[in-house]
């Protein structure tokens, strides 16, 4: 990789700490403690950029743990390019380990990182991203502070295998729990099958939220081209870490900031890419949150108008067959972007972290394996985006069209009079615990005409919003071969799930959305052609139920168990607007308001 000579030196914000003759007392204080582990005065006063490495890896966050190793190569890149590396921890977020939800911690990690990037002598930052929420948390913080920033994905795990079949992380859990419920697996067999999907360091090897969000970081231009999909253990991943370290130093010298990269066009590119890769239903939540902190207009209608009709090109589980290693070998994000560019679907002039446009970065990319990345003319499925649904049950919800199976379509959507509509009897659960207690209770009388509803699982009701809307049918229906019922709810769903649920419904029951007024036995009509979901209950009856619920003290949900749960609940918005901390949104580009140096 050839590097341009650096442009003329710019004023670095770190000089206000380390080399400020106008404030000798404080400069000495700032300096002396950063000398105590061996950095020299010459280095700190040399005018070299100080580059933060925002470390999200730890023993508590196994998906990102390999960043502890990669940080060495990032440092070498920074040092080679003439910068000084300062590594610091980011609040850990492990999707599979955090109770009650990892979603609760995205905004906490965001807040913590904003405070560090703003308040310490950091001129630019490498964001070490990976597991689901770590990527949006880091990008959101970089957008708020707006110092030069580049993201480095830790990369997916190697492919999982069991008895000659690929086992994808997360996705295999949904299958294994059906086998367990149907009595085809025992406890040990269940754990063995699920564990086979995690054969190495790295994050989920499926097109879950992690691969989605790291692919989107690349499509947005926040990471080096071709870097998102490299599996964690590959040597190419170490090379990407080194090059990322090299590059951030020049980004500081060029003053290339998130506000230059995260434009509306970049977000529209990311929406198109989400459809083509079969991305997670968490993507609209996180991209909306990022856009709001970046001060960019973006709403759910953009997903409908820009993304819905884009076909599915990437054949990765859960929408397809393959896994992360296959995606990388087939060409990764640049090959997908190149296919979309051929159809005029990409705003090619969007600038990226390497200083070139997205179009220039991807023009020469090619598909290396068309079983894994399909040419645009022969997609896996047409119309692979998210449908935005509205109606009298909620203001908005989304549905991922790429995962509607032909079995599901046949069973629920093939009425000759109205091929895109279905109607069913609601069976309502208040939170995941209620669902687990009652789903196999035969007195509920669940059959194939029912719609399972999960409520109390939104950002307020189940703090952070739980990934629980994809509900398996009762065991007695699984045993009869019925693998999916229509599901609907105010919670989220794992990106690794292939369930065609209607989810992210806003406002949630805990915010007294109409979902709070729903009773088991009510009839719900879902009409995909008109993009509506409506409850067949009169407005007068709903008014009466609303009054009764208000008299009873409102929709009940569990009390907060930690201080952060209470603070988040008091300040968080709904999923359709990114579930951000609302009071945080007004703080934009704050490094530029600091008035230094
Ligand atoms: Fe971390 Fe899936 S659990 S990426
Ligand atoms: Mg998840």
Contacts with 298 (C-beta within 8 Å, 6 or more apart), sequence order: 264, 267, 287, 288, 291, 292
Q: How many residues does the chain have?
A: 597
pLDDT tens-digit profile, the chain (597 residues): 555 555 545 689 999 999 999 999 999 999 999 999 999 999 999 999 999 999 999 999 999 999 999 999 999 999 999 999 999 999 999 999 999 999 999 999 999 999 999 999 999 999 999 999 999 999 999 999 999 999 999 999 999 999 999 999 988 998 898 888 888 899 999 999 999 999 999 999 999 999 999 999 999 999 999 999 999 999 999 999 999 999 999 999 999 999 999 999 999 999 999 999 999 999 999 999 999 999 999 999 999 999 999 999 999 999 899 999 999 999 999 999 999 999 999 999 999 999 999 999 999 999 999 999 999 999 999 999 999 999 999 999 999 887 787 777 777 777 777 878 899 999 999 999 999 999 999 999 999 999 999 999 999 999 999 999 999 999 999 889 888 899 999 999 987 777 779 999 999 999 999 999 999 999 999 999 999 999 999 999 999 999 999 999 999 999 999 999 999 999 999 999 999 999 999 999 999 987 764
pLDDT attached to residue 286: 98
DSSP-assigned states of every residue in 391-428? SSS-SEEEEEGGG--HHHHHHHS--TT-TTEEEEEEEE
Q: What is the pLDDT of residue 7?
A: 52
Alpha-carbon distance 217 to 267, whole Å? Answer: 10
Helix axes 332-341, 264-277, angle to 10 degrees: 110
For 133: left if phi > 0, alpha if psi spans -120 to 50, otherwise beta; the answer is: alpha
For ligand 1, pick from 134, 169, 199 the residue to mutate: most ligand atoms within 8 Å of CB: 169
How many whole angstroms from 130 Cα to the centroid of ligand 1?
8
Please state, as a whole number, how many other Cβ atoms lie within 10 Å of the Cβ of residue 525: 18
Residue 206 has what pLDDT? 97
Dihedral (C-alpha) 22, 23, 28, 34: value to the nearest 10 degrees? -90
For a ligand 1 pocket test, name from 62, 102, 132 the mutation site with the most ligand atoms within 8 angstroms of its C-beta.
132
Atom 3 of ligand 1, residue of closest alpha carbon: 95
Q: Which ligand is nearest to the CA of 285?
A: 2
132: CA distance to ligand 1 center in Å? 6
Q: Which atom of ligand 1 is nearest to the CA of 96?
A: 3
pLDDT at residue number 58: 98
* CA distances from residue 63 to 153, 225, 454, 588 in whole angstroms, order as listed: 11, 22, 28, 30
103 C-alpha vs ligand 2 centroid, how far in Å?
8
Residue nearest to atom 2 of ligand 1 (CA): 204
Helix (H, G, I), strand (E, B) or coil at 86: strand
pLDDT attached to residue 596: 65
ipTM > 0.90, yes or no = yes
DSSP string, 332-375: HHHHHHHHHHTTT-S-TT-B-TTSSBHHHHHTT---S-TTTB--
- What is the spatial distance between Cα 153 and Cα 305, in angstroms, rounded to a whole number? 29
Contact in structure between 445 and 572 (CB atoms under 8 Å)? no
Identify which of 352, 253, 262 has the alpha carbon closest to the alpha carbon of residue 50: 253
pLDDT at 498: 73
Residue 391 to residue 26: CA distance in whole angstroms: 59
Dist CA 189 CA 400 (whole Å): 31
C-beta of residue 87 within 8 angstroms of C-beta of residue 75: yes
pLDDT at 593: 84
pTM of the model: 0.96
Element (H, E) at 179: helix 171-181
The secondary structure of residue 226, as a DSSP letter, is T
Centre of ligand 1 to C-alpha 201, Å, is: 11
Q: Which residues contact 437 (CB under 8 A, 6 or more apart)?
A: none
- Asked if 549 contacts 517 with a C-beta cutoff of 8 angstroms, the reply is yes
Residue 479 pLDDT: 87
Pocket test for ligand 1, best of 67, 101, 208, 497 (most atoms within 8 A of CB): 208
Ligand nearest to the CA of 134: 1
Q: How far is the CA of 152 from the centre of ligand 1 (A)?
A: 16
Q: Residues enclosing ligand 1, CB less than 6 A?
A: 63, 95-96, 131-132, 169-170, 203-204, 208, 210
Q: Is 481 helix (H, G, I), strand (E, B) or coil?
A: coil
Question: pLDDT at position 39, please?
Answer: 95
pLDDT at 5: 54
Question: Side by side, which strands form the sheet with 84-89?
Answer: 84-89, 50-55, 124-129, 149-153
* DSSP collapsed to 3 states, 244-278: HHHHHHHHHHHCCCHHHHCCHHHHHHHHHHHHHHC
Mutate to test the pocket of ligand 1, among 97, 129, 210, 282 (most ligand atoms within 8 A of CB): 210
Q: What is the pLDDT of residue 407?
A: 78
> Residue 516, SS3?
helix
């Amino acid at each position: 990789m050839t590097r341009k000579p650096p442009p003329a030196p710019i004023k670095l914000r770190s000089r206000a700490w380390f080399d400020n003759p106008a404030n000798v007392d404080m400069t000495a204080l700032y300096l002396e403690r950063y000398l105590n582990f061996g950095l020299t005065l010459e280095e700190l006063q040399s005018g070299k950029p100080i580059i933060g490495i925002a470390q999200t890896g730890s023993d508590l966050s196994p998906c990102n743990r390999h960043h502890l190793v990669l940080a060495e190569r990032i440092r070498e890149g920074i040092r080679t390019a003439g910068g000084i590396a300062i590594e610091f921890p980011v609040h850990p977020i492990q999707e599979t380990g955090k109770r009650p939800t990892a979603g609760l911690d995205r905004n906490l990690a965001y807040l913590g990182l904003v405070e560090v990037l703003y308040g310490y002598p950091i001129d630019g930052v490498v964001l070490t991203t990976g597991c689901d929420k770590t990527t949006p948390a880091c990008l959101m913080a970089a957008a708020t502070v707006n110092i030069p920033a580049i993201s480095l994905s830790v990369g997916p795990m190697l492919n999982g295998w069991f008895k000659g079949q690929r086992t994808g992380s997360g996705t295999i859990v949904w299958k294994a729990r059906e086998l367990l419920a149907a009595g085809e697996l025992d406890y040990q067999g269940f754990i063995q099958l699920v564990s086979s999907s995690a054969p190495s360091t790295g994050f989920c090897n499926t097109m879950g939220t992690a691969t989605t969000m790291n692919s989107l970081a690349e499509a947005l231009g926040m990471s080096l081209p071709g870097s998102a999909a490299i599996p964690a253990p590959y040597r190419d991943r170490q090379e990407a870490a080194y090059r990322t370290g090299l590059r951030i130093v020049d980004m500081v010298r060029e003053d290339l900031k998130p506000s230059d990269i995260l434009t509306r066009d970049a977000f529209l590119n990311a929406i198109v890419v989400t459809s083509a890769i079969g991305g997670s239903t968490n993507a609209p939540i996180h991209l909306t949150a990022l856009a709001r902190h970046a001060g960019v207009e973006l709403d759910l209608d953009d997903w409908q108008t820009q993304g819905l009709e884009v076909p599915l090109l990437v054949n990765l589980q859960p929408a397809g067959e393959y896994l992360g290693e296959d995606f990388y070998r087939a060409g990764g994000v640049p090959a997908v972007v190149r296919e979309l560019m051929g159809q005029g679907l990409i705003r090619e002039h969007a600038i990226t972290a390497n200083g070139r446009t997205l179009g220039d970065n991807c023009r020469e990319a090619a598909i290396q394996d068309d079983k894994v990345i399909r040419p645009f003319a022969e997609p896996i499925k047409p119309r692979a985006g998210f449908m935005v649904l509205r109606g009298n049950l909620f203001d908005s919800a989304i549905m991922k069209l790429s995962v509607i199976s032909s079995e599901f379509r046949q069973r629920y959507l093939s009425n000759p009079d109205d091929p895109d509509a279905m109607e069913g009897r609601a069976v309502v659960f208040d939170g995941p615990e209620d669902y687990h207690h009652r789903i196999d209770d035969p007195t509920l009388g669940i059959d194939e005409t029912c719609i399972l509803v999960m409520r109390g699982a939104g950002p307020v009701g189940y703090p952070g919003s739980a990934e629980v809307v994809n509900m398996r049918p009762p065991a007695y229906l699984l045993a009869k071969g019925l693998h999916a019922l229509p599901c609907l709810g105010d919670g989220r769903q794992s990106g690794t799930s292939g369930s065609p649920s209607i989810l992210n419904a806003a406002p949630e029951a805990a915010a007294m959305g109409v979902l709070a007024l729903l009773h088991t036995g009510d009839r719900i009509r879902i009409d995909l052609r008109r993009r509506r979901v409506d409850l067949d209950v009169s407005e007068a009856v709903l008014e009466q139920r609303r009054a009764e619920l208000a008299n009873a003290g409102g929709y009940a949900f569990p009390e907060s168990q930690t201080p952060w749960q209470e603070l988040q609940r008091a300040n968080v918005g709904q999923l359709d607007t990114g579930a951000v901390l609302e009071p945080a949104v007004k703080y934009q580009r704050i490094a530029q308001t600091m008035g230094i140096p």
